[in-house]
Amino acid sequence: MDTLLLVLYTSLPWAAVVVLSLMAVAGAGVGMVWPRFLAYVYLGVFFFRNSTSYGSLATFDTVSVYSRGSGVLLFPLLLWMMFAVWCCARVSASFQRYPAPPCNLRPWLLGWLLLLGAHVAAGMLTGVKLSAAVAPSGFSHIVWMAPLVSLMLLSFRTRAHAIELSRFILLSGLVRAGFGLARWALAGGDPNNVYANMNDIKIKLTFFDINDSLLCTVAFAIAAVNLFQIAKHQRSQFWILVDWATLLATAACVVLSFRRTAWIGFLLTGLVVMMRFPLQRRMQLVALGLPVVGAALLVAAVKRLGQTKGAGHGIGSLFYDMESRRFGAESERVLELKLALADFISHPFTGIGAWGRYTGYQQIAWQDGPDGGLFLHSGVLHIALKAGLPGLVLLFGTIWAFVVFARRALREAPPDLLGLATAGAAGLAFMLPDLLVGTPFPQVRTTQMLAICMALPYVAMAVAAGVPAAGTAPMAARRRFNIPPAPASRSTSAAASGPASPGARA
């Protein structure tokens, strides 16, 4: 018996290696034939897996799939798995002669890779470890947005795939919002409640992680466009009910998150969505929706800010900890930004390096851990501090390129794909407050969720222009997207590919 147990325990590692190898081979096979299935698994991790334990009273930390562990792989295993899925999708596209859809983000994302390479080289010359140069506290996660955008463009190749993706996001948002609301009503809300656990503010949250509110907002945008656009497309009663349930549940979930950045971002999302409709429809939605949403946000704001020390009164209370004070000690949020800004002014062209810590960070209460001074509450200033003016140029250039394309996508996307295109723009609008006063770039989940949002308009327009079956789109659309003509043998009917309808407006 002892010998049998010894053999069993000795063989377990080898058995695990064999099982993992078989799973990898099977996954590669699926990825070669149906890359979007692996993409769905990857998206599902970010849609449903929380990324922070900040504000929790738990005495132990669970292992996070977003962590890079000991740092041997330099980046989290999850990102390497995504890169492997991208390789499968790239090989699959080559075998099937699928042309890579156009994307004006590519040169900017390549610029981020070159900038990171320059920082790595500078760090190695000055004795900085490679693991520190590419640490999450820098801007390496922005580089990892590129393969995810490319993966989505290579995986969702037809109009049916794009509609399927839209429904997947819709259902994910509904399920996530339903979970958050049920936990809020029955189980005390999110345990990562920094307001109740650390600030003695007696409120319950649906989700503290801003990415859960981002998912709800993206699903909200899809549902709103599906329900209220003028140029309707055929949809079953089931999906209409799903749209209404998603619209109500996701809005409630964002309001009950009690995050100021989520509230402001949600209002910006509403503006993006309403701009897809004619003036008369906008006025109708404002008259019906604004009183309800405004009242809900007002009640939530009064409940939270009324218990917050030093919040004051009026609209200015939303920014009570972000305003400079004439008397007394400076707010730590403002002090943090002033210290980082001083370091940026001292190193405007190079920044302090992806691995650097800003001077005086020890004065900030939340900067007392091993990561002290490596991050700050402003995504824009974070990039300026770490990468200097080159980083700022790349940041605003990337946003500008997306906005230019998204505006065109929202004008030209056909009705059945307009929700998907709008969701991407709405997601970026939602994250603008977090980019200004949050910590998006050191977080794997946040940067990958941003990449998902940024990819959506490109997916919608690629399938609308007929990229999947090269030669199927109208010539005007093909010239607009710089799609080369396809051999006659590969041509299919324009109706089957679902050509773009430049005149179709919501």
What share of the chain in percent tops pLDDT 70? 85
> What is the 3 state secondary structure string of 294-316?
HHHHHHHHHHHHCCCCCCCCCHH
Over residues 243-294, the pLDDT tens digits come to 999 999 999 999 999 898 999 999 999 999 988 877 777 787 777 777 777 7
Calculate mean pLDDT across residues 57-84. 83
Q: Does residue 337 register a pLDDT over 60? A: yes
CB-based contacts of 125: which residues, under 8 Å, 6+ apart? none
Give the contacts of 296 (CB within 8 A, at least 6 positions apart).
251, 252, 255
Predicted confidence band of residue 72 (pLDDT cuts 50, 70, 90): confident
| pTM of the model as a whole | 0.86
- Helix/strand/coil (H, E, C) string of 104-155? CCHHHHHHHHHHHHHHHHHHHHCCCCHHHHCCCCCCHHHHCHHHHHHHHHHH
Residue 339 has pLDDT above 60, yes or no: yes
Tell me which of 132-141, 226-235, 323-332 is least confident: 323-332
> For position 2, what pLDDT does the model report?
66
Q: List the end-to-end C-alpha distance of the chain, in Å, as a whole number.
A: 73
Q: pLDDT, tens digit, for every residue of 455-489?
A: 999 999 999 987 543 333 344 444 444 444 444 43
Residue 201: the pLDDT is 79
Mean pLDDT, the chain, rounded, equals: 83
Supply the pLDDT for residue 143.
Answer: 96
